[in-house]
Structure 1
Amino acid sequence: MSRIQRSVIFIFLGLVSVGFVLPLLWLVITPFSRAPSLGLAFTAPTLKNFQELAQARTALLAFKNSLLISAGSVALVVMFASLASYALSRSLFRGKQGLITLLLIFSSVVTGVAAMVPIYALCQKLRLIDSLAGVVLVFSAGFLPTAIFILKDFIDRVPRAYEEAALVDGSSGIDLYLRIVLPLIGPGLAVVAVLCFVNIWSNFLVPFVLIRSNSKIPVPVAIYQFFNEVGLPRIGLISAYSLLYALPVLLVYWWVSRKFGFGFFGGLKG
């Protein structure tokens, strides 16, 4: 590779890096700016934007609602997906491969706006409109096919010799699941939990369609309130809220990477 080609590649990568770094730099600097704007303005730091944000009762309630929705959905998805994927991995029946293919299709074909019309009609019939439980159920059902597909791959890698040895010792089926399989697929559960949490934490469409009360809206919908009467964004509040909004995701990534790392551990040696 010639010097000119290397220079062109370095310049291109530098421009791409700047495109990623500038928004993050804006997100860190603007919440503490005395004159927040869409551009980068280095001024004396202030906590005025956070103090004003603390006075907005709906903004604080939205954080609680987002945590309830995300935590509830993650708990349901991890529990039911691990059970279903264990049964799917260990059972032998006709049409098993077809069922796996359907899971893959359902997890990728009908999504977004296309899925909201039947979902809204179903929630209306079940009286789940304007209900946090309804939002949790919609998120959980929507992410289950993907979670089952991911966890099945992890469970397939768990050696059956572990389960056979436990059966010889008198363990029951639920003991195999709780004491053998779950500890070995910890990284897989972490992957599913993180993917589920991040997708639900940042989702705007589902709660925007299903929630009516201001006291029940999550953070993505609450950010909509930080516009003035003529529709202009209140940059200071939006930037401060966005910074706080990003912290839980960063903490989740940090905790999971610290606890589980990025590998899958388990199996027999020799």
Structure 2
Amino acid sequence: MKKKNIIQVILHLFLVGALIVVVLPMVYMVSTSLKPNGALYEYPPRFLPGFDEITIENYLYVLGQGKFYINFFNSIFVAVCTVLLAALIASALGYVIARFAFPGKNFLFSFIVLTMIIPGLTLIIPQYQLAVKLKTINSLAGLIPFYTAWTIPYSTFMIKGFVENIPRELDEATYMDGGSVLTVFGRIIIPLAKPGIASVSIFNFLTAWEEFPWANTVINDNIKRTIPIAISGFFGQHQFTQWGYVFALSVFSLLPILAVFIFCQKFFVAGLTSGSVKG
């Protein structure tokens, strides 16, 4: 066997192994959600339930909880608002930095990049103090501005690269036709940078949808909680954790993520390929 073929075989085996590592937890989650709660503690343990054991009892229980729908739509509202605000602000920032020369431009961009390496948890105390001053504690308004601020640096960094790939001749042609800066931004930059905006929006949606520490710190009212906090609420209930309920709710929480990725998949792939080449 040629050396090249051996390397390809090893690479494919590595990719298959990595795929198994990634997929197995998901399979176990779905499998456990379809088991009766008592079956989780059986010995010897089984990875998959028997056909006669499959039940949707856990899903029915979760759907029967009225607060599930409220928590679910709270997460949807927060994630969608975060995505829209971050896309608008980051697109404008990326456009300005990529197209215009002004004093402090390099410093501004360097500062934006540097904020990407600061762990979010290190800022939780000053963020909480700011939320208290803004009177956004125990409200969804205490989540959206902070999530947006977290996602803007990465989004700006990525979108700036896409804007730089758009020919400047299109801007100049728009100006010659009497267009303004806003016209260029709305009719040229936004449509042509759509793959990049969509790709970062997927990550921004995941950030807002899955975030737990800050939401758990700010939100105290059950009615205003998001899905990650709702999932944590099942831990320790009835003197032990009902893992069937936890995993059933986790499966429900994955549905919007899958829907967003499926809907934006073509933009995501296009964004990765177009952002990899400059010119």
TM-score (norm 2): 0.86
Contact 2:231 2:249 in 1 (8 A): yes
Contact kept, 8 Å, 1:69 with 1:135, in 2: the verdict is yes
Q: Could you tell me how far apart the structure 1 residues matched to 2:193 and 2:93 are?
A: 14
Instruction: Confirm whether residue 227 of structure 1 aligns to residue 229 of structure 2.
Output: no
Report 1:29-178 matches (<5 A). 29-35=31-37, 36-37=39-40, 40-43=47-50, 44=52, 45-109=54-118, 111-178=119-186
Which of 173, 189, 204 is the equivalent residue of 1:196?
Answer: 204
**Is there any run of 5+ residues in structure 1 with no aligned partner, and where?**
none
Change (3 A) 1:11 1:223: same
- Seen in structure 2, the aligned counterparts of structure 1 residues 231 and 102 have a Cα distance that, compared at 3 Å, is farther
2:274 maps to which of 245, 264, 267: 264
Q: What residue identity is the alignment partner of 1:32?
A: L
Deviates more, 1:159-168 or 1:141-150: 141-150
Query: Shift in Å at residue 18 of structure 1?
Result: 3.6
1: CA distance between counterparts of 2:10 and 2:90? 47
Number of aligned residue pairs: 265
CA RMSD of aligned residues (A): 2.7
Q: Secondary structure at the match of 2:101?
A: coil
Deviation at 1:15, TM superposition (A): 5.2
Question: In 2 relative to 1, CA 172–52 (structure 1 residues): closer, same or farther, beyond 3 Å?
Answer: same
SS of the residue corresponding to residue 79 of structure 1 reads helix
Secondary structure of residue in 1 paired with 2:40: coil
User: Does structure 1 conserve the Cα–Cα contact (< 8 Å) formed by 2:59 and 2:245?
Assistant: yes
Letter aligned with residue 25 of structure 2? P
Partner of 2:28: 26
CA separation in 1, counterparts of 2:122 and 2:268? 36
C-alpha distance in 2 between matches for 1:187 and 1:6: 31
1:155–1:28 distance in 2 versus 1, CA, 3 Å: same
**How far apart, CA to CA, are the structure 2 residues paired with 1:173 and 1:73?**
25
Conservation of the 8 A alpha-carbon contact between 2:137 and 2:218? yes
2-structure distance, mates of 1:77, 1:83? 10
CA deviation vs aligned residue, 1:23-75 (integer Å, no higher than 9, x gap): 12112222222355275232232211111111212222111110011001111
User: Partners in 2 of 1:8 and 1:172 — Cα distance?
Assistant: 55
The worse-fitting range, judged by mean Cα deviation, of 223-232 and 202-211 is: 223-232
Unaligned runs of 5+ in 2: none
Counterparts of 1:172 and 1:12, CA distance in 2: 52
Q: What SS is found at the alignment partner of 2:143? A: helix
* Structure-1 separation of matches of 2:95 and 2:7: 51
Identity of aligned residues (%): 28
Q: 1:186–1:260: 8 Å Cα contact kept in structure 2?
A: no
Distance 1:58 1:8, change over 3 A: same
- 1:208 match: 216
Q: Report runs of 4+ in structure 1 exceeding 6 Å deviation.
A: 3-13
| Change beyond 3 A, Cα 1:68–1:10 | closer
1-structure distance, mates of 2:7, 2:154: 42
Q: Aligned partners of 1:87, 1:10: CA distance in 2, in Å?
A: 43
Per-residue deviation, 1:260: 5.8
TM-score (norm 1): 0.89
